[in-house]
Structure 1
Amino acid sequence: MKPSPMSLRAPSREFPKGWYCVADSKEVKVEKLLPVSWLGRDYVVFRDTQGLAKVADAYCPHLGAHLASHDGCIKEGRVICPFHHWGFDTSTGKCTDIPYAKVIPPVSLTFYEVREVNEQIVIWYHPEGLAPDREPYQSDLLKEREWVLFDSRSWTSSAPFCDILENLFDTAHILMLHHAHETPKLGNIEELDYGLKVDYIMDPDKSDQPMKSLTCHISGITLLVQHYEFVGTEALFVFSFTPIDHEYFVQRTHLYLLNNVSPEVMENIGKEFVDRFVMEVDQDMEVLNFKKHLTKPRLCDGDGPILRFRRYSNQFLEKEGV
């Protein structure tokens, strides 16, 4: 079965405002242009001479050549257009050199607001071009403790974008679709400057995994960090959700395990965790990729706090409505 067009399944045709991952930190090197396509646009991602991540419009403001096409490159701190070899400073974006001209016009590359958090390079998007009104969540745990990147996965999805994180609050589907031992219980839900902090109520004796706690940090509705505490170790899941266009988005997921157990134990824990996670995401996608976003769902008392999440998420969407 092929999914219906998104115009028939979701009320909004605009991307939500927020921070979007355009590349993993490890993908972006000094002196190298990385071409990417997200949010219906083309970008180049690179680092300036100080190693700071930059994201620019992929097309030269001179005559529209793609900066990463042919032999476009970074040389001596400048992005060199492959068409006429105009040079743009990697730190400011300003044109500083035109080999065949005596007068350099006041022209610059279009730069975007960039942050590098949780080993990801993210850019700010607002449908009206407004400046950021919040910062993305940065996990201090990831910076301050020793972690091992155990596995990375990605899915291309045709689910309504506004529904993907709502899935965390639909606790009944964990029991019915994923066949968990019991329905998860959400504890404190707190709106903070970056978005939402959500604590789950865990009982290691009743869970099919010896989990002591689970805390979710949601940046807007585009980024997610989950911190798991198990009996004896910990894990971090770092998620990003970035639209390719109005029909599809990519979910990227990185699993970090705390480096406090032997390699053998880590391998066993990680494999079990990843296998279960992949199975559940695959099950979700088999439903979410075809579902329609209902602005007025008919909920029952056994459903999780879906409307609580929708009241929060509406602030990031073009069209409001629960």
Structure 2
Amino acid sequence: MSTIEPIPMKFRVPEIAFPMGWYRVADAAEIGHDTLKAVSYLNQQLIVYRTKSGAAQVADAYCPHLGAHLASHDGCIKDGAIVCPFHKWSWDGASGRCAGIPYSAVPPLEGLTLTLYPTREVDGMVLMWYHPQGAEPDFEPYASTALQRDAWILFDSHAWVSTSPYCDIFENLFDTAHIVQLHGAGKMPVMRTMEPMPHGLYVDYEMDPEAEEFGIGKLEINFTGVTAIHQLFEGPGWATNFIIASTPIDNERFIQTVRLYVKDLGSSLFNEQIGRPWIERFKYEVEQDFKVLDYKKHLPKPRLCGGDGPIYQYRAYASRYYV
């Protein structure tokens, strides 16, 4: 294991910038009707909760009155209204408007509201929209048609904190040479299709079932911008679906989460026999990647050669999300 320390990101990327897009900030199951979850992403303090109607919502964590963190001390949410721990002002969770001041009948200034972020609940995740200039969403996140169509179980989930340059994390999928050289795959993958989609990008792989451990007959990936992907694998009598999301914590770190779904085979034993080797292999390869990515520098003009994969094609796609 390397003992070197990652140098600050300002020395490893030409410009520190978070791309616009949909970012996972919580698992949907974490957010109950009385939950006020504090999270720290994108150099911001945020709260995640559910409105009175049950919709997931993300907001700025600080009270517009005098700046208290709304989830500190006994800050809470009651009947869809967020109650500040400092002066007990309440804020409607759906609109962000002031819903009451316990010691004053004088309404606050017009326009004094919580800062709310467009929020979606997709495939077990709560996603918030981020745009560096505050623009509204111009695309929707991908929702798995496979998960909606068939019976699946959430087999396992895992998370890593990485110091990789953020722009390199999903580019790594297009570096096909490292799949063999670092991970020891039997054959270099071939991307048959890279097709722009409303949610981002669809990638279809040409698979050789004889070349890999799991006998994969089909692999397709759907990108939500450059912030999350769905990887669908299919083989004889089985299927797995990895949902991988990467959310910056600050300028130096991001968190990568994976949720592994297994197509239900009707038996916990059979599901275990499919899911366990998949999640173990995935974790092993991710940790191999981070042993390199956590220390690497992003090169705007890498010296590529034949066999390196469609890295420049991915960069052309990804560039639209950096404003």
**TM interval, short-chain normalised:** over 0.9
Structure 1 residue 56 corresponds to structure 2 residue 87: no
Q: Which residue of 2 aligns with 1:244?
A: 249
How far apart, CA to CA, are the structure 2 residues paired with 1:148 and 1:128? Answer: 38
Q: Which residue of 2 aligns with 1:258?
A: 263
Q: Which residue of 2 aligns with 1:81?
A: 84
Structure 1, gaps ≥5 residues long:
none
Return the match for 1:287 from 286, 289, 292: 292
Structure 1 residue 197 corresponds to structure 2 residue 213: no
Q: Which residue of 1 aligns with 2:216?
A: 211
What amino acid maps onto 2:95 in structure 1?
T
Equivalent pair of 1:19/1:123 in contact (CA under 8 Å): yes
User: Any runs of at least 4 consecutive aligned residues in structure 1 with deviations exceeding 3 A, and if so which?
Assistant: none
Equivalent pair of 1:221/1:313 in contact (CA under 8 Å): yes
Task: Give the 3-state SS of the residue equivalent to 1:211 in structure 2.
Answer: coil
How far apart, CA to CA, are the structure 2 residues paired with 1:211 and 1:262? Answer: 21
Question: How big is each residue's C-alpha offset from its partner over 1:166-204, in whole Å with a ceiling of 9 and x where there is no partner?
Answer: 011100000000111111111111011110100011121
What amino acid maps onto 1:22 in structure 2?
V
Structure 1 residue 32 corresponds to structure 2 residue 35: yes
Q: Which residue of 1 aligns with 2:135?
A: 130
Question: How big is each residue's C-alpha offset from its partner over 1:38-84, in whole Å with a ceiling of 9 and x where there is no partner?
Answer: 00000110001111011111000000000011111112331100100
Question: How big is each residue's C-alpha offset from its partner over 1:249-297, in whole Å with a ceiling of 9 and x where there is no partner?
Answer: 0000000001124221211211111111111111100000011000000
Task: Give the 3-state SS of the residue equivalent to 2:65 in structure 1.
Answer: coil
What amino acid maps onto 1:130 in structure 2?
A
Task: Give the 3-state SS of the residue equivalent to 1:186 in structure 2.
Answer: strand
Q: Which residue of 1 aligns with 2:232?
A: 227
Q: Which residue of 2 aligns with 1:301?
A: 306
Question: How big is each residue's C-alpha offset from its partner over 1:216-273, in whole Å with a ceiling of 9 and x where there is no partner?
Answer: 0011110111111111111110111000000000000000001124221211211111
Structure 1 residue 97 corresponds to structure 2 residue 100: yes
Question: How big is each residue's C-alpha offset from its partner over 1:121-173, in whole Å with a ceiling of 9 and x where there is no partner?
Answer: 11111111111111111112223322111110111000010000001110000
How far apart, CA to CA, are the structure 1 residues paired with 2:54 and 2:314? Answer: 37
Q: Which residue of 2 aligns with 1:150?
A: 155
Equivalent pair of 2:50/2:80 in contact (CA under 8 Å): no
How far apart, CA to CA, are the structure 2 residues paired with 1:130 and 1:48? Answer: 23
Task: Give the 3-state SS of the residue equivalent to 1:283 in structure 2.
Answer: helix
How far apart, CA to CA, are the structure 1 residues paired with 2:53 and 2:145? Answer: 23
Return the match for 2:319 from 307, 314, 317: 314
**How many residue pairs end up in the alignment?**
318
Aligned-residue identity in percent: 48
Equivalent pair of 2:244/2:257 in contact (CA under 8 Å): yes
Q: Which residue of 2 aligns with 1:65?
A: 68
Return the match for 2:165 from 154, 160, 163: 160
How far apart, CA to CA, are the structure 2 residues paired with 1:141 and 1:8? Answer: 42
Structure 1 residue 46 corresponds to structure 2 residue 19: no
How far apart, CA to CA, are the structure 2 residues paired with 1:77 and 1:63? Answer: 21
Q: If the length of structure 1 is used for normalisation, what is the TM-score? A: 0.97
How far apart, CA to CA, are the structure 1 residues paired with 2:211 and 2:160? Answer: 31
How far apart, CA to CA, are the structure 2 residues paired with 1:143 and 1:109? Answer: 34
Kindly report the root-mean-square deviation, in angstroms, between the aligned alpha carbons of the 2 structures: 1.0
Equivalent pair of 1:233/1:261 in contact (CA under 8 Å): no
Task: Give the 3-state SS of the residue equivalent to 2:172 in structure 1.
Answer: helix
Q: Which residue of 1 aligns with 2:275?
A: 270
Q: Which residue of 2 aligns with 1:108?
A: 113
How far apart, CA to CA, are the structure 2 residues paired with 1:275 and 1:281? Answer: 10
